[in-house]
Structure 1
Amino acid sequence: MKIIGATAHFVNNDLDEGPIIMQDVINVDHTYTADEMMRAGRDVEKNVLSRALYRVLAQRVFVYGNRTVIF
């Protein structure tokens, strides 16, 4: 079994090292074609981004140091 995942995080000066807002993974297996994996990856990215944006815009995410607190 393999997984595909996505992370939404705040941007800082270091590549991919900002405080994490939301993460998720989905399971994939050997039956997936390259196109199906691409679609699955896009789907998990869209879901993570929309859930992260909702929480940030609803002011449910606070940054403390290099960490996030989510309510």
Structure 2
Amino acid sequence: MLTISDSLALGQLIRSERKRQQLTQEQLAAVAGVGVRFVRELESGKESCRLGLALAVLQTLGLTVSVAARGANS
């Protein structure tokens, strides 16, 4: 499991997985139903990105999100 603690780390994860799947930003945007600009901003760690759209991109890449309380045992 990977811990994501800020928008930059989330963006790096998304960029890495997109490239692993050999998708361009344009292709990912089309499949996820978001704009290319949104994908670019998300990958660059822009903090004002909309959570719902970010979750759609994660789902498109086959990634899931888990939330745990600080200090909770995994």
Instruction: Name the TM tier (shorter chain).
Output: under 0.3
TM-score under structure 2 normalisation?
0.26
Asked which structure has the greater CA Rg, the reply is 1
Which structure has greater helix proportion? 2
Higher fraction of strand: 1
